[in-house]
Structure 1
Amino acid sequence: MLDRIAASLPSLAPAEQRVARLVLHDPRAFTTLPVRELAARALVSKPTVVRFCRSMGYDGLADFKLKLAGSVSEGVPFIHRSVDSDDKTADVLVKVVDNAVAAFLQYRNAASVQALDRAAEAIAATWRTGRRLEFYGAGNSGIVAQDGQHKFFRLGITSLATSDGHMQVMSATLLGPGDCAVIISNSGRTRDLMDAAGIARKGGATTIAITASGSPLAHSCQIHLAADHPEGYDRYSPMVSRLLHLLIIDVLATRVALRIGEPLQPVLQQMKNNLRAKRYT
């Protein structure tokens, strides 16, 4: 969690940066002090303290303090180990696996349950009302968008995935109230995705961002599912970010399936039966 805050510093507003530095300086004290004292120490207003917590993907100061206290006490560090040119196969294996495991543990401890619930309810509502769910991503995130579409169409939700910027704009234009758009981005700064998110939101659709905290995309969408990690945005082959995005999609799909509940069971069973003919015995 502290790594997330440090990584988000450059993208925060100046006043929120002062709150962030206060957290990084003494996280244990931050969890115990009242908002008035926190604001005084950071030389900001009380609403700024709350706004910082929301910028980091939490529902407010209480939620942020709770997760911060758990992070400090459990102490699950994010150890990002870069692969070097002279690494042997055994070294590469350990580093890649350790990076992925550390990212998953950090997400488990820092994820906003409230944001996941809001996203799951919005998507489940598209099933109840027969509306549409669309996934947008560019480049590597476009592959994650396809995985999202694959997960959710099996739940009986009308869903689509596209990674082409022009198609995203046209598709987002057709969205309206009751529809959902899930926008996936490592950096949260891709222009095509920002355009599509803005169009979908303007049309009345619910926009859900899976991206880095403090990014423009995170601020522009109604629901933000934070995907924070120390992997650079300019990596030629992102690994941790892709796995983290896929994990968030899996958590979200599982939660939506549980919300749909009993009506889903016969459909999944029939699908399983129909697929048996596609396999050799």
Structure 2
Amino acid sequence: MFSAAEIKSLNETELEVYKYITKNRTEVLNMKIRDLADAAHVSTTTVLRFCKKIGCEGYAEFKLKYKMELSKNEVAKDYNDVHTMLQYFKRIDTEDFDNELNKVAELIYERSNVIFLGIGTSGILAKYGARFFSNIGKFSQHIDDPFYPVPNRYLDDSVVIILSVSGETRETIDQMHNFLNTKSVILSITNTNVNTIASMSDINLSYYMPMTIIGDSLNLTTQVPVLFILETLAKKVQKMEIDQ
């Protein structure tokens, strides 16, 4: 029901409505608009704006369409990763998303170097991304130390790919400042496009998956979309190299 383009059009408060709905799918069907607004800590006006941005005239129409959508997936009554991933791949299986990846791949193809940056789990994915791009013949390296010094002259012909689920990792943001005064292209891959890292980037790719946080800091949000995006970009760059 929620297309990538519709989700991308949501502002920060409207995203709170989206995130609450995805985490409380069945409960929402029994909630009045005021109940949903209170639960998501937004106004009823924000809920109505959210409804219109996803193609509904009002809250009543949204609940009806959402109920129909849930009934299509009765097999997956409980939230599970398989259902979530199937929904994700269905959501991105569009010409618009493929064209977006083509544009990013062309930018990477035109640059000599690719630098991946991330810490924690994103740091592990940065290492994987650098190895995968190196496998297809694109010189790449990863940085998982936010204090690692990089000479500015080395960045001028580079694409810097920054990985962060929240887009608010302080150490990663501090490292980003080192790249802003260079001629490098900064691409970020984050869960949503409403965050500090996305706003600081030249290009942002976001995947919009339900956030899973344990305790104060353990983030278990699936990273399968990140792997898919990185591998798809690498293969597109490889095809450009072969076709050249």
Measured against the shorter chain, the TM-score band is 0.5 to 0.7
Distance 1:195 1:186 in 2: 16
Q: Do structure 1's residue 4 and structure 2's residue 3 form an aligned pair?
A: no
- Relative distance call for 1:208 and 1:5 in structure 2 (3 A) is closer
Quote how far apart the aligned CAs of 1:174 are: 4.9
Report deviation, 1:200: 1.4
Provide the C-alpha distance between the structure 2 equivalents of 1:201 and 1:7, rounded to a whole number of angstroms: 26
Larger helix proportion of the pair: 1
Query: What SS does the corresponding residue of 1:166 show, helix, strand or coil?
Result: coil
Quote the residue 2:155 is aligned against.
176
1:196 Cα offset (Å): 2.4
C-alpha distance in structure 1 between counterparts of 2:181 and 2:145, whole Å: 20
Q: Paired residue for 1:251?
A: 232
Q: What 5-or-longer segments of structure 2 have no aligned partner?
A: 16-44, 58-65
- Mark the CA change 1:171 to 1:24 in structure 2 (over 3 Å): closer, same or farther: farther
Matched, 1:96 2:78: no
1:208 equivalent in structure 2: 187
Aligned counterpart for 2:205 among listed residues 204, 225, 228 = 225
Kept in 2: contact 1:6–1:24 (CA 8 A): no
Tell me how far apart the structure 1 counterparts of residues 242 and 181 of structure 2 sit (CA, whole Å): 31
Aligned AA for 1:207? Answer: I
Which residue of structure 1 aligns with residue 105 of structure 2? 120
Matched, 1:195 2:159: no
CA distance, structure 2, for counterparts of residue 229 and residue 199 of structure 1:
29
Which residue of structure 1 lines up, in the alignment, with residue 55 of structure 2?
Answer: 28
Percent identical pairs in the alignment equals 19
Is there any run of 5+ residues in structure 1 with no aligned partner, and where?
13-17, 31-71, 83-94, 264-281
Question: 1:216 is aligned with what amino acid?
Answer: T
When the two chains are superposed, the root-mean-square deviation of aligned CA atoms in Å is: 3.5
- The residue correspondences of 1:154-173 to structure 2 (distance < 5 A) are 154-167=135-148, 170-171=149-150, 173=152
Question: What's the CA shift for 1:250?
Answer: 1.4
CA separation of 1:133/1:25 partners in 2, compared to 1, >3 Å: closer, same or farther?
same
Structure 1 26/10 Cα, relative in aligned 2: closer, same or farther at 3 Å?
closer
Give TM-score, length-normalised by structure 2: 0.67
SS in 2 for 1:209: strand
Give the direction of change, closer, same or farther, for the CA distance of 1:155–1:21 in structure 2 (3 Å limit).
Answer: farther
Q: What CA distance in whole angstroms lies between the structure 2 residues aligned with 1:197 and 1:204? A: 13
In the TM superposition, what is the alpha-carbon distance from 1:80 to its structure 2 partner?
A: 9.5
Change (3 A) 1:218 1:154: same
Q: Distance in 1 between matches of 2:52 and 2:240?
A: 41
Question: Separation in 1 of the partners of 2:162 and 2:239?
Answer: 22
Length-normalised TM-score, structure 1: 0.59
